[in-house]
Chain A
Protein backbone atom coordinates (compact mmCIF):
# COMPACT_ATOMS: atom_id res chain seq x y z
CA UNK A 1 0.00 0.00 0.00
CA UNK A 2 2.76 2.35 0.97
CA UNK A 3 4.61 1.54 -2.23
CA UNK A 4 1.47 2.18 -4.23
CA UNK A 5 1.03 5.58 -2.59
CA UNK A 6 4.66 6.44 -3.20
CA UNK A 7 4.38 5.38 -6.80
CA UNK A 8 1.30 7.48 -7.39
CA UNK A 9 2.27 10.23 -5.00
CA UNK A 10 1.12 13.10 -7.20
CA UNK A 11 -2.25 11.59 -7.93
CA UNK A 12 -2.73 10.62 -4.27
CA UNK A 13 -2.14 14.17 -3.10
CA UNK A 14 -4.45 15.54 -5.79
CA UNK A 15 -7.20 13.11 -4.83
CA UNK A 16 -6.70 13.89 -1.15
CA UNK A 17 -7.03 17.61 -1.78
CA UNK A 18 -10.05 17.33 -4.08
CA UNK A 19 -11.90 14.79 -1.94
CA UNK A 20 -11.15 16.83 1.20
CA UNK A 21 -12.63 19.95 -0.36
CA UNK A 22 -15.59 18.01 -1.73
CA UNK A 23 -16.30 16.74 1.77
CA UNK A 24 -16.01 20.28 3.11
CA UNK A 25 -18.48 21.44 0.46
CA UNK A 26 -20.87 18.60 1.19
CA UNK A 27 -20.74 19.32 4.90
CA UNK A 28 -21.51 23.00 4.31
CA UNK A 29 -24.43 22.24 2.02
CA UNK A 30 -25.84 19.54 4.28
CA UNK A 31 -25.36 21.26 7.62
CA UNK A 32 -26.09 24.73 6.32
CA UNK A 33 -22.84 25.85 7.93
CA UNK A 34 -20.27 27.83 6.00
CA UNK A 35 -16.78 27.11 7.37
CA UNK A 36 -17.10 30.19 9.50
CA UNK A 37 -13.69 29.86 11.16
CA UNK A 38 -11.89 29.84 7.83
CA UNK A 39 -13.85 32.83 6.57
CA UNK A 40 -13.29 34.73 9.80
CA UNK A 41 -9.52 34.25 9.57
CA UNK A 42 -9.46 35.37 5.97
CA UNK A 43 -11.70 38.39 6.48
CA UNK A 44 -9.92 39.43 9.67
CA UNK A 45 -6.62 39.20 7.82
CA UNK A 46 -7.77 41.16 4.79
CA UNK A 47 -10.06 43.78 6.36
CA UNK A 48 -7.33 45.83 8.10
CA UNK A 49 -5.33 45.93 4.88
CA UNK A 50 -8.39 47.04 2.91
CA UNK A 51 -9.18 49.67 5.52
CA UNK A 52 -5.61 50.91 5.38
CA UNK A 53 -5.66 51.18 1.62
CA UNK A 54 -9.00 52.95 1.73
CA UNK A 55 -7.66 55.41 4.28
CA UNK A 56 -4.54 56.11 2.26
CA UNK A 57 -6.57 56.50 -0.92
CA UNK A 58 -9.16 58.77 0.62
CA UNK A 59 -6.76 60.95 2.62
CA UNK A 60 -3.58 61.15 0.67
CA UNK A 61 -4.31 59.89 -2.83
CA UNK A 62 -5.80 63.12 -4.10
CA UNK A 63 -3.06 65.17 -2.50
CA UNK A 64 -0.25 63.20 -4.13
CA UNK A 65 -1.95 63.26 -7.51
CA UNK A 66 -2.24 67.00 -7.35
CA UNK A 67 1.27 67.37 -6.03
CA UNK A 68 2.76 65.40 -8.90
CA UNK A 69 0.71 67.46 -11.35
CA UNK A 70 1.99 70.62 -9.71
CA UNK A 71 5.60 69.53 -10.00
CA UNK A 72 5.22 68.99 -13.74
CA UNK A 73 3.58 72.32 -14.31
CA UNK A 74 6.00 74.23 -12.14
CA UNK A 75 8.73 73.64 -14.66
CA UNK A 76 6.85 75.74 -17.19
CA UNK A 77 5.72 78.62 -15.05
CA UNK A 78 6.63 78.26 -11.46
CA UNK A 79 4.96 81.18 -9.81
CA UNK A 80 1.74 81.08 -11.77
CA UNK A 81 1.31 77.36 -11.60
CA UNK A 82 1.93 77.28 -7.88
CA UNK A 83 -0.99 79.60 -7.43
CA UNK A 84 -3.19 77.61 -9.80
CA UNK A 85 -2.21 74.39 -8.10
CA UNK A 86 -3.02 75.71 -4.67
CA UNK A 87 -6.41 76.87 -5.89
CA UNK A 88 -7.06 73.56 -7.60
CA UNK A 89 -6.09 71.66 -4.53
CA UNK A 90 -8.30 73.79 -2.36
CA UNK A 91 -11.13 73.57 -4.85
CA UNK A 92 -10.83 69.84 -5.14
CA UNK A 93 -10.65 69.49 -1.40
CA UNK A 94 -13.73 71.66 -0.95
CA UNK A 95 -15.61 69.82 -3.66
CA UNK A 96 -14.80 66.50 -2.06
CA UNK A 97 -15.81 67.86 1.30
CA UNK A 98 -19.03 69.21 -0.18
CA UNK A 99 -19.84 65.94 -1.90
CA UNK A 100 -19.14 64.02 1.27
CA UNK A 101 -21.23 66.43 3.30
CA UNK A 102 -24.09 66.17 0.80
CA UNK A 103 -23.96 62.41 0.84
CA UNK A 104 -23.83 62.38 4.61
CA UNK A 105 -26.68 64.89 4.72
CA UNK A 106 -28.81 62.80 2.40
CA UNK A 107 -28.15 59.73 4.49
CA UNK A 108 -28.88 61.64 7.68
CA UNK A 109 -32.11 63.07 6.25
CA UNK A 110 -33.17 59.62 5.19
CA UNK A 111 -32.30 58.26 8.62
CA UNK A 112 -34.49 60.89 10.25
CA UNK A 113 -37.32 60.33 7.81
CA UNK A 114 -37.42 56.57 7.84
CA UNK A 115 -39.19 54.89 10.76
CA UNK A 116 -36.68 52.02 10.74
CA UNK A 117 -33.57 52.08 12.87
CA UNK A 118 -30.57 52.20 10.54
CA UNK A 119 -26.79 52.23 10.87
CA UNK A 120 -24.46 53.96 8.41
CA UNK A 121 -21.64 51.89 6.92
CA UNK A 122 -18.91 52.35 4.36
CA UNK A 123 -18.00 49.96 1.57
CA UNK A 124 -14.38 48.81 1.94
CA UNK A 125 -14.03 46.12 -0.72
CA UNK A 126 -15.63 43.70 -3.11
CA UNK A 127 -15.75 39.94 -3.00
CA UNK A 128 -13.00 37.95 -4.63
CA UNK A 129 -15.01 36.23 -7.36
CA UNK A 130 -14.82 37.27 -10.99
CA UNK A 131 -17.46 39.94 -11.70
CA UNK A 132 -18.67 39.55 -8.14
CA UNK A 133 -21.63 41.57 -6.95
CA UNK A 134 -20.86 41.23 -3.28
CA UNK A 135 -19.20 43.95 -1.20
CA UNK A 136 -17.68 44.24 2.24
CA UNK A 137 -18.79 47.02 4.60
CA UNK A 138 -16.94 48.22 7.67
CA UNK A 139 -19.63 47.24 10.17
CA UNK A 140 -19.71 43.84 11.79
CA UNK A 141 -21.22 41.89 14.62
CA UNK A 142 -19.52 44.23 17.10
CA UNK A 143 -21.82 46.99 15.79
CA UNK A 144 -24.94 44.87 16.09
CA UNK A 145 -25.12 43.72 12.47
CA UNK A 146 -26.82 40.38 11.90
CA UNK A 147 -27.14 38.12 8.89
CA UNK A 148 -30.17 38.91 6.73
CA UNK A 149 -30.37 42.63 7.50
CA UNK A 150 -31.46 44.92 4.69
CA UNK A 151 -28.96 47.37 3.18
CA UNK A 152 -30.12 50.51 1.40
CA UNK A 153 -29.38 54.06 0.35
CA UNK A 154 -31.91 56.90 0.14
CA UNK A 155 -32.38 56.18 -3.58
CA UNK A 156 -33.37 52.56 -3.03
CA UNK A 157 -32.43 49.15 -1.75
CA UNK A 158 -28.84 47.97 -2.20
CA UNK A 159 -28.86 44.36 -1.00
CA UNK A 160 -28.77 42.32 2.16
CA UNK A 161 -26.18 41.16 4.65
CA UNK A 162 -25.14 37.57 3.92
CA UNK A 163 -22.15 37.15 6.21
CA UNK A 164 -21.20 38.89 9.43
CA UNK A 165 -17.74 39.05 10.96
CA UNK A 166 -16.58 40.96 14.03
CA UNK A 167 -15.26 43.96 12.12
CA UNK A 168 -16.94 43.69 8.73
CA UNK A 169 -19.94 42.27 6.91
CA UNK A 170 -20.54 40.92 3.47
CA UNK A 171 -23.44 42.40 1.51
CA UNK A 172 -25.01 40.65 -1.47
CA UNK A 173 -26.07 43.34 -3.95
CA UNK A 174 -29.56 43.32 -5.43
CA UNK A 175 -28.10 42.56 -8.86
CA UNK A 176 -26.24 39.49 -7.58
CA UNK A 177 -27.32 36.07 -8.74
CA UNK A 178 -29.37 34.45 -6.00
CA UNK A 179 -30.77 37.69 -4.60
CA UNK A 180 -34.55 37.94 -4.23
CA UNK A 181 -36.93 40.49 -2.68
CA UNK A 182 -40.70 40.98 -2.59
CA UNK A 183 -41.78 44.06 -4.52
CA UNK A 184 -45.02 45.88 -5.30
CA UNK A 185 -45.74 48.31 -8.09
CA UNK A 186 -46.69 51.85 -7.13
CA UNK A 187 -49.56 52.53 -9.47
CA UNK A 188 -51.42 49.25 -9.80
CA UNK A 189 -50.19 47.54 -6.62
CA UNK A 190 -49.04 44.43 -8.48
CA UNK A 191 -46.90 42.11 -6.37
CA UNK A 192 -43.88 40.19 -7.64
CA UNK A 193 -40.42 38.94 -6.73
CA UNK A 194 -37.32 40.84 -7.78
CA UNK A 195 -34.44 38.52 -8.73
CA UNK A 196 -30.77 39.28 -9.22
CA UNK A 197 -29.30 37.79 -12.39
CA UNK A 198 -25.71 38.96 -12.23
CA UNK A 199 -26.31 41.88 -14.58
CA UNK A 200 -27.25 45.50 -13.95
CA UNK A 201 -30.96 44.89 -14.63
CA UNK A 202 -33.22 42.62 -12.57
CA UNK A 203 -36.37 40.79 -13.65
CA UNK A 204 -39.52 40.74 -11.53
CA UNK A 205 -41.05 37.28 -11.52
CA UNK A 206 -44.50 35.95 -10.70
CA UNK A 207 -46.52 38.69 -12.37
CA UNK A 208 -49.38 37.35 -14.43
CA UNK A 209 -50.06 38.54 -17.95
CA UNK A 210 -53.45 39.82 -16.82
CA UNK A 211 -51.84 42.17 -14.28
CA UNK A 212 -51.30 45.77 -15.32
CA UNK A 213 -47.76 47.17 -15.15
CA UNK A 214 -46.56 50.14 -17.14
CA UNK A 215 -43.03 50.93 -18.29
CA UNK A 216 -41.62 53.67 -16.09
CA UNK A 217 -43.69 52.56 -13.13
CA UNK A 218 -41.94 52.56 -9.77
CA UNK A 219 -41.60 49.42 -7.69
CA UNK A 220 -41.32 49.43 -3.90
CA UNK A 221 -40.53 46.73 -1.37
CA UNK A 222 -43.64 44.85 -0.33
CA UNK A 223 -42.30 43.61 3.01
CA UNK A 224 -43.36 40.05 2.19
CA UNK A 225 -39.80 38.74 2.29
CA UNK A 226 -39.31 39.76 5.94
CA UNK A 227 -35.98 41.32 5.03
CA UNK A 228 -36.87 44.69 3.55
CA UNK A 229 -39.45 46.85 5.32
CA UNK A 230 -42.42 47.74 3.15
CA UNK A 231 -42.30 51.01 1.21
CA UNK A 232 -38.62 51.32 0.23
CA UNK A 233 -37.97 52.29 -3.39
CA UNK A 234 -36.56 49.46 -5.50
CA UNK A 235 -36.41 50.69 -9.06
CA UNK A 236 -38.08 51.73 -12.27
CA UNK A 237 -39.65 49.29 -14.74
CA UNK A 238 -37.47 49.59 -17.84
CA UNK A 239 -39.34 47.13 -20.03
CA UNK A 240 -42.68 45.39 -19.68
CA UNK A 241 -43.89 42.72 -22.07
CA UNK A 242 -46.08 39.67 -22.01
CA UNK A 243 -44.31 36.33 -21.77
CA UNK A 244 -45.18 32.65 -21.72
CA UNK A 245 -45.27 32.06 -18.01
CA UNK A 246 -46.25 35.58 -17.06
CA UNK A 247 -45.39 39.19 -17.59
CA UNK A 248 -41.72 39.93 -18.19
CA UNK A 249 -40.87 43.02 -16.20
CA UNK A 250 -37.27 44.25 -16.07
CA UNK A 251 -36.27 46.72 -13.35
CA UNK A 252 -33.30 49.00 -13.03
CA UNK A 253 -32.45 49.06 -9.31
CA UNK A 254 -32.37 52.70 -8.26
CA UNK A 255 -30.07 52.13 -5.28
CA UNK A 256 -27.20 50.85 -7.40
CA UNK A 257 -27.27 53.43 -10.15
CA UNK A 258 -24.19 55.46 -9.25
CA UNK A 259 -22.09 52.86 -7.45
CA UNK A 260 -22.15 52.28 -3.74
CA UNK A 261 -19.89 54.04 -1.24
CA UNK A 262 -21.89 54.69 1.89
CA UNK A 263 -24.90 52.61 2.82
CA UNK A 264 -27.43 52.24 5.60
CA UNK A 265 -28.03 48.90 7.28
CA UNK A 266 -31.53 48.42 8.67
CA UNK A 267 -31.01 47.23 12.22
CA UNK A 268 -34.68 47.33 13.17
CA UNK A 269 -37.07 47.47 10.25
CA UNK A 270 -40.44 49.20 10.47
CA UNK A 271 -42.88 48.77 7.61
CA UNK A 272 -43.89 51.99 5.88
CA UNK A 273 -46.42 52.83 3.21
CA UNK A 274 -46.02 52.61 -0.51
CA UNK A 275 -46.54 56.21 -1.67
CA UNK A 276 -49.33 57.00 -4.09
CA UNK A 277 -48.29 57.77 -7.65
CA UNK A 278 -47.87 61.47 -8.31
CA UNK A 279 -50.98 63.08 -9.80
CA UNK A 280 -50.65 65.67 -12.55
CA UNK A 281 -50.45 68.96 -10.69
CA UNK A 282 -52.21 72.18 -11.72
CA UNK A 283 -48.83 73.58 -12.74
CA UNK A 284 -48.88 71.35 -15.77
CA UNK A 285 -52.00 73.13 -17.15
CA UNK A 286 -51.52 76.81 -17.77
CA UNK A 287 -54.45 78.94 -16.69
CA UNK A 288 -54.34 82.69 -17.42
CA UNK A 289 -55.27 85.22 -14.75
CA UNK A 290 -58.80 86.78 -15.02
CA UNK A 291 -59.05 89.54 -17.67
CA UNK A 292 -59.05 93.18 -16.55
CA UNK A 293 -62.43 94.96 -16.49
CA UNK A 294 -63.45 96.68 -19.71
CA UNK A 295 -63.99 100.39 -20.01
CA UNK A 296 -61.73 103.38 -19.82
CA UNK A 297 -59.07 103.58 -17.20
CA UNK A 298 -60.40 104.85 -13.90
CA UNK A 299 -63.93 104.16 -14.97
CA UNK A 300 -65.68 102.09 -12.39
CA UNK A 301 -69.04 100.94 -13.61
CA UNK A 302 -71.42 100.01 -10.89
CA UNK A 303 -75.13 99.68 -10.74
CA UNK A 304 -77.33 100.32 -7.87
CA UNK A 305 -77.12 96.68 -6.97
CA UNK A 306 -73.32 96.51 -7.08
CA UNK A 307 -70.52 95.82 -9.61
CA UNK A 308 -71.58 95.03 -13.16
CA UNK A 309 -70.63 91.61 -14.38
CA UNK A 310 -71.28 91.17 -18.10
CA UNK A 311 -70.37 93.28 -21.12
CA UNK A 312 -74.07 93.97 -21.81
CA UNK A 313 -74.47 95.24 -18.24
CA UNK A 314 -71.48 97.51 -18.65
CA UNK A 315 -72.75 98.91 -21.94
CA UNK A 316 -76.22 99.50 -20.49
CA UNK A 317 -74.77 101.25 -17.47
CA UNK A 318 -72.56 103.41 -19.65
CA UNK A 319 -75.52 104.52 -21.81
CA UNK A 320 -77.64 105.24 -18.73
CA UNK A 321 -74.93 107.48 -17.31
CA UNK A 322 -74.44 109.29 -20.62
CA UNK A 323 -78.18 109.83 -20.77
CA UNK A 324 -78.25 111.15 -17.19
CA UNK A 325 -75.37 113.56 -17.86
CA UNK A 326 -77.23 114.98 -20.92
CA UNK A 327 -80.64 115.08 -19.22
CA UNK A 328 -82.02 112.31 -21.35
CA UNK A 329 -84.42 109.82 -19.87
CA UNK A 330 -84.49 106.66 -21.92
CA UNK A 331 -87.98 105.51 -22.79
CA UNK A 332 -89.65 108.64 -21.37
CA UNK A 333 -88.79 111.54 -23.73
CA UNK A 334 -88.59 110.30 -27.29
CA UNK A 335 -86.81 112.71 -29.56
CA UNK A 336 -83.16 113.48 -30.02
CA UNK A 337 -80.98 110.74 -28.59
CA UNK A 338 -78.03 111.58 -26.36
CA UNK A 339 -74.53 111.95 -27.82
CA UNK A 340 -72.90 108.59 -27.12
CA UNK A 341 -69.45 109.87 -28.23
CA UNK A 342 -69.06 112.31 -25.40
CA UNK A 343 -66.64 111.27 -22.74
CA UNK A 344 -68.30 110.02 -19.64
CA UNK A 345 -67.87 112.40 -16.74
CA UNK A 346 -67.64 111.03 -13.27
CA UNK A 347 -71.12 111.16 -11.96
CA UNK A 348 -72.36 110.60 -8.48
CA UNK A 349 -73.99 107.31 -7.93
CA UNK A 350 -77.53 107.56 -9.13
CA UNK A 351 -80.10 108.26 -6.47
CA UNK A 352 -83.03 105.92 -6.40
CA UNK A 353 -85.69 107.45 -8.61
CA UNK A 354 -89.32 107.51 -7.72
CA UNK A 355 -91.41 105.22 -9.81
CA UNK A 356 -93.48 107.46 -12.20
CA UNK A 357 -96.32 105.01 -12.25
CA UNK A 358 -96.73 105.13 -8.47
CA UNK A 359 -96.27 108.93 -8.31
CA UNK A 360 -97.66 110.46 -11.52
Chain B
Protein backbone atom coordinates (compact mmCIF):
# COMPACT_ATOMS: atom_id res chain seq x y z
CA UNK B 1 0.00 0.00 0.00
CA UNK B 2 1.29 3.43 -0.84
CA UNK B 3 1.33 6.34 1.50
CA UNK B 4 -1.50 7.92 -0.45
CA UNK B 5 -3.71 4.84 -0.03
CA UNK B 6 -2.93 4.86 3.65
CA UNK B 7 -3.94 8.49 3.82
CA UNK B 8 -7.18 7.81 1.92
CA UNK B 9 -8.13 4.81 4.07
CA UNK B 10 -7.23 6.49 7.33
CA UNK B 11 -9.82 5.56 9.95
CA UNK B 12 -12.07 8.35 11.13
CA UNK B 13 -10.98 7.82 14.69
CA UNK B 14 -7.71 9.40 13.63
CA UNK B 15 -9.43 12.10 11.63
CA UNK B 16 -11.18 15.09 12.93
CA UNK B 17 -14.87 14.74 13.71
CA UNK B 18 -16.39 17.85 12.24
CA UNK B 19 -19.28 19.73 13.75
CA UNK B 20 -21.35 22.62 12.55
CA UNK B 21 -23.39 25.13 14.53
CA UNK B 22 -27.17 24.38 14.55
CA UNK B 23 -27.81 27.55 12.53
CA UNK B 24 -25.68 26.15 9.71
CA UNK B 25 -27.68 22.90 9.73
CA UNK B 26 -30.87 24.90 9.28
CA UNK B 27 -29.84 27.85 7.09
CA UNK B 28 -27.57 26.12 4.58
CA UNK B 29 -30.16 23.52 3.46
CA UNK B 30 -32.81 26.25 3.35
CA UNK B 31 -30.54 28.42 1.22
CA UNK B 32 -29.87 25.46 -1.07
CA UNK B 33 -33.60 24.83 -1.51
CA UNK B 34 -34.19 28.51 -2.14
CA UNK B 35 -31.39 28.52 -4.69
CA UNK B 36 -33.01 25.57 -6.42
CA UNK B 37 -36.36 27.36 -6.48
CA UNK B 38 -35.20 30.79 -7.47
CA UNK B 39 -31.91 30.91 -9.36
CA UNK B 40 -32.71 28.65 -12.39
CA UNK B 41 -35.45 31.13 -13.27
CA UNK B 42 -32.86 33.73 -14.19
CA UNK B 43 -29.74 31.66 -14.86
CA UNK B 44 -30.98 28.68 -16.82
CA UNK B 45 -27.44 27.38 -17.16
CA UNK B 46 -27.40 26.69 -13.42
CA UNK B 47 -30.48 24.49 -13.50
CA UNK B 48 -28.26 21.40 -13.63
CA UNK B 49 -27.07 22.07 -10.06
CA UNK B 50 -28.65 19.83 -7.40
CA UNK B 51 -27.54 21.85 -4.39
CA UNK B 52 -29.88 20.05 -1.92
CA UNK B 53 -28.20 16.78 -2.91
CA UNK B 54 -24.72 18.26 -2.49
CA UNK B 55 -25.72 19.58 0.93
CA UNK B 56 -27.02 16.15 1.91
CA UNK B 57 -23.78 14.52 0.77
CA UNK B 58 -21.67 17.08 2.60
CA UNK B 59 -23.48 16.93 5.93
CA UNK B 60 -23.61 13.15 5.81
CA UNK B 61 -19.93 12.84 4.96
CA UNK B 62 -18.87 15.23 7.64
CA UNK B 63 -21.15 13.92 10.38
CA UNK B 64 -19.88 10.35 9.85
CA UNK B 65 -23.05 9.02 11.45
CA UNK B 66 -25.42 7.07 9.18
CA UNK B 67 -28.41 7.98 11.32
CA UNK B 68 -27.62 11.69 11.08
CA UNK B 69 -27.01 11.38 7.35
CA UNK B 70 -30.26 9.53 6.76
CA UNK B 71 -32.31 11.99 8.83
CA UNK B 72 -30.66 15.00 7.18
CA UNK B 73 -31.35 13.48 3.76
CA UNK B 74 -34.95 12.76 4.67
CA UNK B 75 -35.63 16.29 5.94
CA UNK B 76 -33.97 18.00 2.96
CA UNK B 77 -35.66 15.63 0.53
CA UNK B 78 -39.10 16.11 2.05
CA UNK B 79 -38.67 19.88 1.98
CA UNK B 80 -37.67 19.64 -1.66
CA UNK B 81 -40.63 17.35 -2.33
CA UNK B 82 -43.06 19.74 -0.78
CA UNK B 83 -41.95 22.46 -3.22
CA UNK B 84 -42.21 20.21 -6.25
CA UNK B 85 -45.26 18.94 -8.08
CA UNK B 86 -44.79 15.25 -7.47
CA UNK B 87 -46.04 13.30 -4.44
CA UNK B 88 -44.13 13.93 -1.22
CA UNK B 89 -41.56 11.24 -0.53
CA UNK B 90 -39.74 10.67 -3.81
CA UNK B 91 -36.86 13.05 -3.13
CA UNK B 92 -37.19 12.13 0.55
CA UNK B 93 -36.48 8.43 0.02
CA UNK B 94 -33.71 9.12 -2.52
CA UNK B 95 -31.91 11.56 -0.27
CA UNK B 96 -32.41 9.40 2.82
CA UNK B 97 -30.49 6.61 1.11
CA UNK B 98 -27.89 9.03 -0.26
CA UNK B 99 -27.34 10.42 3.25
CA UNK B 100 -27.09 6.98 4.77
CA UNK B 101 -24.63 5.66 2.21
CA UNK B 102 -22.38 8.70 2.20
CA UNK B 103 -22.22 8.67 6.01
CA UNK B 104 -21.41 4.95 5.91
CA UNK B 105 -18.59 5.59 3.45
CA UNK B 106 -17.24 8.37 5.62
CA UNK B 107 -16.65 5.84 8.41
CA UNK B 108 -14.03 4.09 6.29
CA UNK B 109 -12.43 6.86 4.25
CA UNK B 110 -10.89 10.24 4.77
CA UNK B 111 -13.71 12.54 3.75
CA UNK B 112 -11.50 15.61 3.61
CA UNK B 113 -9.78 14.29 0.56
CA UNK B 114 -10.92 16.27 -2.46
CA UNK B 115 -10.67 13.34 -4.85
CA UNK B 116 -12.91 11.26 -2.63
CA UNK B 117 -15.36 14.12 -2.35
CA UNK B 118 -15.42 14.45 -6.12
CA UNK B 119 -15.99 10.73 -6.64
CA UNK B 120 -18.64 10.54 -3.92
CA UNK B 121 -20.53 13.49 -5.35
CA UNK B 122 -20.36 12.03 -8.85
CA UNK B 123 -21.49 8.53 -7.87
CA UNK B 124 -24.15 9.65 -5.40
CA UNK B 125 -25.62 12.04 -7.96
CA UNK B 126 -25.97 9.14 -10.40
CA UNK B 127 -27.38 6.94 -7.65
CA UNK B 128 -29.87 9.65 -6.66
CA UNK B 129 -31.07 10.21 -10.23
CA UNK B 130 -31.42 6.50 -11.00
CA UNK B 131 -33.22 5.86 -7.71
CA UNK B 132 -35.56 8.76 -8.36
CA UNK B 133 -36.28 7.40 -11.84
CA UNK B 134 -36.92 3.89 -10.48
CA UNK B 135 -39.23 5.17 -7.74
CA UNK B 136 -41.18 7.38 -10.15
CA UNK B 137 -41.69 4.55 -12.61
CA UNK B 138 -42.38 1.78 -10.11
CA UNK B 139 -44.37 3.56 -7.42
CA UNK B 140 -46.19 6.19 -9.47
CA UNK B 141 -46.28 4.40 -12.82
CA UNK B 142 -45.17 7.52 -14.66
CA UNK B 143 -43.30 7.15 -17.95
CA UNK B 144 -40.33 9.25 -16.89
CA UNK B 145 -37.37 8.99 -19.24
CA UNK B 146 -33.85 8.60 -17.91
CA UNK B 147 -31.51 10.49 -20.23
CA UNK B 148 -28.31 8.66 -19.39
CA UNK B 149 -25.70 10.81 -21.21
CA UNK B 150 -27.22 14.00 -19.84
CA UNK B 151 -27.33 12.54 -16.33
CA UNK B 152 -23.65 11.57 -16.48
CA UNK B 153 -22.70 15.06 -17.65
CA UNK B 154 -24.79 16.63 -14.89
CA UNK B 155 -23.18 14.28 -12.35
CA UNK B 156 -19.74 15.39 -13.50
CA UNK B 157 -20.66 19.08 -13.34
CA UNK B 158 -22.19 18.69 -9.89
CA UNK B 159 -19.07 16.88 -8.69
CA UNK B 160 -16.90 19.68 -10.09
CA UNK B 161 -18.97 22.23 -8.18
CA UNK B 162 -19.05 20.05 -5.07
CA UNK B 163 -15.29 20.23 -4.38
CA UNK B 164 -14.98 24.03 -3.94
CA UNK B 165 -18.48 24.17 -2.45
CA UNK B 166 -17.50 21.69 0.26
CA UNK B 167 -14.33 23.68 0.95
CA UNK B 168 -16.47 26.76 1.53
CA UNK B 169 -18.74 24.80 3.84
CA UNK B 170 -15.65 23.54 5.70
CA UNK B 171 -15.05 27.08 6.84
CA UNK B 172 -18.31 26.99 8.78
CA UNK B 173 -17.13 24.05 10.89
CA UNK B 174 -16.39 24.16 14.60
CA UNK B 175 -14.18 21.08 14.81
CA UNK B 176 -13.26 18.94 17.83
CA UNK B 177 -10.82 16.08 18.05
Contact = CB atoms under 8 A, between A and B. Distances in A.
A24 B88 contact: yes
Which of A22, A29, A125, A128 is the most central at the interface, judged by chain B CB atoms within 10 Å of its CB? Answer: A128
Nearest to B49: A130
Interface in B60-114: 66-67, 70-71, 74, 78-80, 82-93, 96-97, 100, 104
Nearest to A132: B84
A131 B74 CA distance: 21
Nearest to B151: A130
Contacts of B25: none
A329 interface: no
B149 to A, nearest CB: 14
A29 B140 contact: yes
A129 B38 contact: no
Given A17-B74, A177-B142, A128 B87 contact: no
A170 B84 CA distance: 9
- Counting chain A residues whose Cβ lies within 8 A of the other chain, the interface size class is 35 or more
Nearest to B35: A128
A21 B96 contact: yes
Interface stretch (B6-14, B40-48, B115-123, B166-174): B40-48
Interface stretch (A40-48, A70-78, A96-104, A341-349): A40-48
A162 B84 CA distance: 10
Contact of A134 (B84, B92, B104): B84
A49 B31 CA distance: 10
B83 A42 contact: yes
Contact of A125 (B38, B70, B145): B38
15 contacts: A10-B67, A10-B70, A13-B67, A14-B97, A17-B71, A22-B93, A46-B34, A46-B83, A49-B34, A50-B37, A123-B41, A126-B40, A129-B91, A132-B40, A132-B85
B33 interface: yes
Contacts, number: 125
A143 interface: no
B174 to A, nearest CB: 25
Contact of A39 (B37, B82, B96, B104): B82
Contact of A170 (B66, B85, B97, B145): B85
A129 B47 CA distance: 9
Contacts of A35: 82, 87-88
Interface residues of B, number: 43
Contacts of B86: 129
A13 B85 contact: no
A134 B37 CA distance: 10
Nearest to B38: A125
B50 A130 contact: yes
Of all A-B residue pairs in the complex, the 5 with the closest CB atoms, nearest first, are A42-B82, A25-B89, A35-B88, A21-B89, A10-B66
A42 B34 CA distance: 11
Given A17-B74, A18-B96, A42-B79, A125 B37 contact: yes
Contact of B84 (A9, A29, A129): A129
B97 A18 contact: yes
Nearest to A9: B67
B98 to A, nearest CB: 11
A177 B140 CA distance: 13
Given A128-B80, A134-B84, A162-B85, A18 B93 contact: yes
A38 interface: yes
A270 B142 CA distance: 32
A41 B145 contact: no
A29 B136 CA distance: 12
A38 B78 contact: yes
Given A21-B93, A43-B82, A14 B66 contact: yes
